[in-house]
Amino acid sequence: MANEAKTLENGTLEVAMERAPIPGTSLQVSRVALGTWAIGGWMWGGSDEAESVRTIRGAIDHGINVIDTAPAYGFGRSEEVVGKVLAESGLRSRVLIATKTGLEWQGERVFRNASRARILREVDESLRRLRTDYIDIYQVHWPDPLITIEETAEAMRDLFEQGTIRAIGVSNFSVLQMEQFRRVAPLHVLQPPFNLFERGIETDILPYCHRNNIATFGYGALCRGLLSGRMRLDSEFEGDDLRRTDPKFQQPRFAQYLAAVERLDALAQRRFAKRVVHLAIRWMLDQGITTALWGARNPRQLLPVDEVSGWQLDASAMADVDCILHQTIENPIGPEFMAPPARSVAAQ
């Protein structure tokens, strides 16, 4: 993992964003990526385009070189904004675009479709919205139970061999599904849910990726803002914001998660002179995740990014984190509520 530091004129040490390779490709990714789901607006109570533009430009200024988006984020909106910023600023060559395929929608109802026909149609639509002629990292958003993994993998392999995409990724796949996929196509990236409160991949998926040289992009790094330190018991969310139904944001769990955040913040301050937002990202990286996907919708939210490089959690801090989670969260719950249905369910 590359990591450079330089001393500024005032004597403070500025640590550059860490980078890591994606094995099997020539790509070098920053260890924090910008997630642009909220920039699409849908399920996040809307978005503001001028703020979105500033956020994307700000991310690049912080040394972030991966922007993660998807057609489903605002039904094309997020990809369009990313494409517009990169085209108008001339920054396309400095940025790796990670987008996705395999979701379809009717109105605002989203369901899975990872068929070959859907993937080949979607890639053209994404290229147009992103104003580019290649996608750096193309990821299957969710496995589709109605389509064989082999069909999905073959379509992705063809796009890779044509040079339309520079790396193949999957998201929300199990070890078994990755095994099936890899019999047909190379697999460079897995994008799973992962943060301090959502650790389901630790037992088998993360070790599998390490053993097989698959880079990991952990999504929901701040657990939808819960780990930012901004949330209070009376925090309210507007419109279609998913946190109005997210089980972690409902009582009595919400109070437990907030209690954990308060103790994690105290630990971060005492041990590292940092805050919970820094600790949450650093913890992910030190658990062996290649890149943390940090969702932001205004440039201020990215200010803490500069303080996640150049330090590490030691074994005793890791143990303290586990102890805090164990003592404060009585009834933990995962991110399963976000999974879109298969077409057969959506049709009912």
Interface with ligand NAP in residues 113-142 (CB under 6 A): 141
CB–CB of 171/252 below 8 Å? no
Give the E-state strand segments of 62-178 in sequence order: 66-68, 96-101, 103-106, 109-112, 135-140, 165-171
Which residue out of 73, 138, 219, 257 is catalytically annotated?
73
Region near ligand NAP per CB under 6 A, out of 46-54, 86-94, 283-291, 292-300: 292-300
CB 147, min distance to ligand NAP, A: 17
Region near ligand NAP per CB under 6 A, out of 5-13, 33-41, 113-121, 249-257: 33-41
Both tokens of 220, joined, read 């929901």
Contact with ligand NAP (CB under 6 A) among 76, 215, 295, 325? 295
Residue 138 known to be catalytic? no
Contact with ligand NAP (CB under 6 A) among 160, 219, 249, 283? 219
- Please identify which residue in the block is written with the tokens 């390779």: 21
191 binds ligand NAP (CB under 6 A): yes
Both tokens of 310, joined, read 């150049």
Between residues 138 and 294, which has the closer beta carbon with respect to ligand NAP? 294
Contact with ligand NAP (CB under 6 A) among 58, 143, 169, 304? 304
CB 11, min distance to ligand NAP, A: 27
Q: Mind spelling out the 3-state secondary structure of 214-227?
A: CEEEEECCCCCCHH
CB–CB of 102/173 below 8 Å? no
Between residues 109 and 230, which has the closer beta carbon with respect to ligand NAP? 230
CB 243, min distance to ligand NAP, A: 8
**Helix, coil or strand: residue 8:** coil
Region near ligand NAP per CB under 6 A, out of 2-10, 29-37, 124-132, 174-182: 29-37
Contact with ligand NAP (CB under 6 A) among 76, 189, 225, 261? 225
Own/partner long-range contacts of 273-276 (Cβ < 8 Å, ≥24 apart)? 274/307, 274/311, 275/229, 275/304, 276/227, 276/228, 276/229
CB 297, min distance to ligand NAP, A: 5
**Helix, coil or strand: residue 74:** coil
The vertex-97 CA angle with 117 and 340, nearest 5°, equals 50
Binding to ligand NAP by CB under 6 A, coded x per residue (else -) over 247-276, reads ------------------------------
282 binds ligand NAP (CB under 6 A): no
49-79: burial string, b at 16+ Cβ within 10 Å, e else: eebbbbbbebbbebbbbbbbbbbbbbbbbbb
Half-sphere exposure of 345 (CA within 13 A, CB side): 12
CB 223, min distance to ligand NAP, A: 5
112 binds ligand NAP (CB under 6 A): no
Contacting residues toward ligand NAP, per CB under 6 A: 35-38, 68, 141, 171-172, 191, 219-225, 228, 230, 277, 293-297, 301, 304
- The residues annotated with a catalytic role in the active site are 73
